[in-house]
Structure 1
Amino acid sequence: MKWIAGLIGLCLSINALAFSATLTHQYGTLTINKKPLKVVSVGQVDHDDILSFGVKPIAIRDWYGNQPYGVWPWAQPALGDAQPVLLDPRIIDYEAIAALKPDLIIGVSAALDEKEYQKLNAIAPTLAGPTDYEKWTIPWDVRHLMIGKALGFEDLATQHISSLQQKLQTVKDQHPEFKGKTAAVAFYYNKQPGAYASKDLRSQFLMSLGFIIPEEIDQIAGDAFYASFSEERLDILNNDIVVWLGSEEAIESASTAIFRQRMPFYKNHKEYFTGDLVGGAFSFFSYLSIQYLIEEMVPELAKVAAH
């Protein structure tokens, strides 16, 4: 009877592997004829999506934040006790990736150029980003569905997307005070303030809650996903709420107090500071991190809006 049990197990394993998926990406078409078992993630945030399907990458390209194996708290339960190779965030380490002999390389959020894609695809079948979006502006649901389909979880990806979209709509309905209010996602970088345009995923999260990103920010940004300006123009941030990417201490130390402290958004306590963890979830903007944002960020936005 043991051989029968073994045969059943073998059949189940074969069925798990037997699937076919064809995906179009910016550099061509990828056809996968068996479920990948050894997956490498080279996109900055793709490992969040991979982990959400119960797949544990054998290697993850780190982004930032000094998190264990590059995995932030909202995704660590899905990682469990796995110990993926942590790849250099600054470069694509082709030699390290090749040594792992992956079945599939996922780089949807990596903003790969064609040369990088060709080098990776020579190592293993590689999934680049979609054709219809600029770098760094791929919507979370588009990325999630692409990665889910590549891993053999298209139906689950569709369920994830539908469930989270409904959850976001429920949150929006629960907070009518957000509707029509202007908001800016602001930052300091290289001692210069700025704000993200409406095409940026962080701004789109606020828009999904009912907030409006001012047109002036988009006009200054032009074709970019963010706008930088001088401290003398901090009045651009005079909105119903300013969401600062980072801690209050970091913003205080980065800015010249005389400019920020004369602004209405400062005087009227219309600022929210994400801190490191919420800021990370905001920047990852994945299926997993958005749920973290709903729990941690939305209540704080409501407090600021109530002022």
Structure 2
Amino acid sequence: MIAPKLHRATATTAARLLAATSALVLVGVALTACSSTAAAVAENPDYTTEPSDTFPVTIEHEYGQAVIPSEPQRIVVVGLTEQDILLELGVTPIATTEWYGEQPSAVWPWATELLGDAEPTVLSTTDGLEYEKIASLKPDLIIGTNSGMTEENYEKLAQIAPTVTNEEGAGLYFADWQDQTRTVARAVGRSAQGEALITGVEEAYAAAAAEHPEFAGLTASFSQGGPWDGNMWVYPDGLNTDFLTDLGFTITPGLEQYVPSEGGQAQIAAENMGVIDADVIVFATESPDAVQEVLQFGTTSSLSAVTGGHAVFTDEVLAGAIYFLTPLSQKYVLEKLVPRLADAVRGEAPQRTDG
């Protein structure tokens, strides 16, 4: 979950976030005042659905609990991908957070139709969370289930408005997409709708797997689309690899020994690229130039998956959809990636991003 992933841009962003927040001091009284002014707000004109749950709602999470007294109207997303979930629930946030890609409103093409004419404020985490800017937006709910939120971050945000992060033990990133969807849906009073989103995606994967029995049992590797800091960053089994395993593939074994810290990607040096060879490899490339960068890294060009036409090179939007790993983005993944996986299994995948 592209996110989802610790994208190469996000890895440095996370470090900056931790450093910046340790140095930032806010006045709690001022933040509390901002929170109180947000108590009475006009209904968000961009909402397209009504809540089905009864408020107040209490959300248990990693750092305690958030009590949401009434249907939130001014939602600020401090995570990287949660805008997708909200938009599919018919709930438009007033602020999103830029991850990478510089998409308008930090909303990617698979979600723009649901955004409509709304223009959320876009926050940045380049120098840490923008607490003062967030407070100035007068939110009545802050959502960060995929934000890398630390306890220190949480305590400061919770002074502004009720703040929801991921479940206990989920880690800073890579929280289960189903759990994130349930948490976000509950926070906005749309639990049943959230379950429907999850069920829809799971059924779509099952249908795609049934249509492609040739996928079953084949090995697959998923790699970011270029080396970073001297390594290729590859995903071990269970780390945002559902989009492959739910189709019947088995993630290439042995990657775990290259994971430097629990819950992260395998970092594969140029001389070790042979360990990712598989029946199918998906490289999340984002440009034609990136394809060449991948092929020139170590022994990549000589891998049997590459020489045999079994390697998929994505374009920017498909890579983003895989990284986001939200219910909405996964529908895009199923539409665009499955035909390319079928080509790869047949040995007919071209070495270009347009498939």
Task: Specify if TM > 0.5.
Answer: yes
> What letter is aligned with 1:31?
V
Q: What's the counterpart of residue 150 of structure 1?
A: 187
> What letter is aligned with 1:143?
Q
Identity of aligned residues (%): 31
Deviation of residue 289 (structure 1)?
0.1
Q: Aligned in 2, Cα 1:275/1:190: closer, same or farther, shift over 3 Å? A: farther
Deviation of residue 200 (structure 1)?
1.4
Q: Which has the larger radius of gyration?
A: 1
CA distance, structure 1, for counterparts of residue 298 and residue 184 of structure 2:
47
Q: Contact (CA 8 Å) 1:107, 1:127: kept in 2 or not?
A: yes
Deviation of residue 15 (structure 1)?
8.9
Q: RMSD between aligned alpha carbons? A: 1.9
Q: Contact (CA 8 Å) 1:191, 1:255: kept in 2 or not?
A: no
Secondary structure, aligned partner of 1:19:
coil
Q: How does 1:222-261 map to 2 (within 5 A)?
A: 223-246=262-285, 247-256=287-296, 259-261=299-301
CA distance, structure 1, for counterparts of residue 168 and residue 53 of structure 2:
28
Q: Contact (CA 8 Å) 2:270, 2:298: kept in 1 or not?
A: no
Pick from 81, 88, 100 the counterpart of residue 64 of structure 1.
100
Deviation of residue 23 (structure 1)?
1.2
Pick from 166, 183, 197 the counterpart of residue 160 of structure 1.
197
Deviation of residue 248 (structure 1)?
4.9
Q: How does 1:110-125 map to 2 (within 5 A)?
A: 110-125=147-162
5+ unaligned residues in a row in structure 2: which ranges? Answer: 1-49, 348-355
Q: How does 1:1-307 map to 2 (within 5 A)?
A: 19-90=55-126, 91-187=128-224, 188-201=227-240, 203-221=241-259, 223-246=262-285, 247-256=287-296, 259-307=299-347
Secondary structure, aligned partner of 2:56:
strand
Q: Contact (CA 8 Å) 2:239, 2:263: kept in 1 or not?
A: no
Aligned residues: 293
Q: Deviations over 1:9-57 (max 9, x none)?
A: xxxxx99896221111000011212000110000000111111111111
Q: Contact (CA 8 Å) 2:295, 2:301: kept in 1 or not?
A: no
Deviation of residue 220 (structure 1)?
2.1
CA distance, structure 1, for counterparts of residue 89 and residue 230 of structure 2:
40
Q: Contact (CA 8 Å) 1:36, 1:104: kept in 2 or not?
A: yes
> What letter is aligned with 2:249?
F
Q: Contact (CA 8 Å) 2:51, 2:71: kept in 1 or not?
A: no
Q: Contact (CA 8 Å) 2:274, 2:299: kept in 1 or not?
A: no
Deviates more, 1:250-259 or 1:94-103: 250-259
5+ unaligned residues in a row in structure 1: which ranges? Answer: 1-13
Deviation of residue 258 (structure 1)?
6.7
Task: Please identify which structure carries the higher helix content.
Answer: 1
Deviation of residue 89 (structure 1)?
3.3
Deviation of residue 299 (structure 1)?
0.8
Q: Contact (CA 8 Å) 1:49, 1:144: kept in 2 or not?
A: yes
Q: Aligned in 2, Cα 1:240/1:85: closer, same or farther, shift over 3 Å? A: same
Secondary structure, aligned partner of 2:183:
helix
CA distance, structure 1, for counterparts of residue 140 and residue 233 of structure 2:
41
CA distance, structure 2, for counterparts of residue 83 and residue 134 of structure 1:
31
Q: Aligned in 2, Cα 1:18/1:251: closer, same or farther, shift over 3 Å? A: same
Q: Contact (CA 8 Å) 2:52, 2:191: kept in 1 or not?
A: no
CA distance, structure 2, for counterparts of residue 270 and residue 37 of structure 1:
47
Q: Aligned in 2, Cα 1:89/1:251: closer, same or farther, shift over 3 Å? A: farther
Q: What's the counterpart of residue 10 of structure 2?
A: none
CA distance, structure 2, for counterparts of residue 297 and residue 15 of structure 1:
34
Q: Contact (CA 8 Å) 1:106, 1:126: kept in 2 or not?
A: yes
Secondary structure, aligned partner of 1:244:
strand
> What letter is aligned with 1:103?
D
Deviates more, 1:110-119 or 1:161-170: 161-170
CA distance, structure 2, for counterparts of residue 281 and residue 31 of structure 1:
32
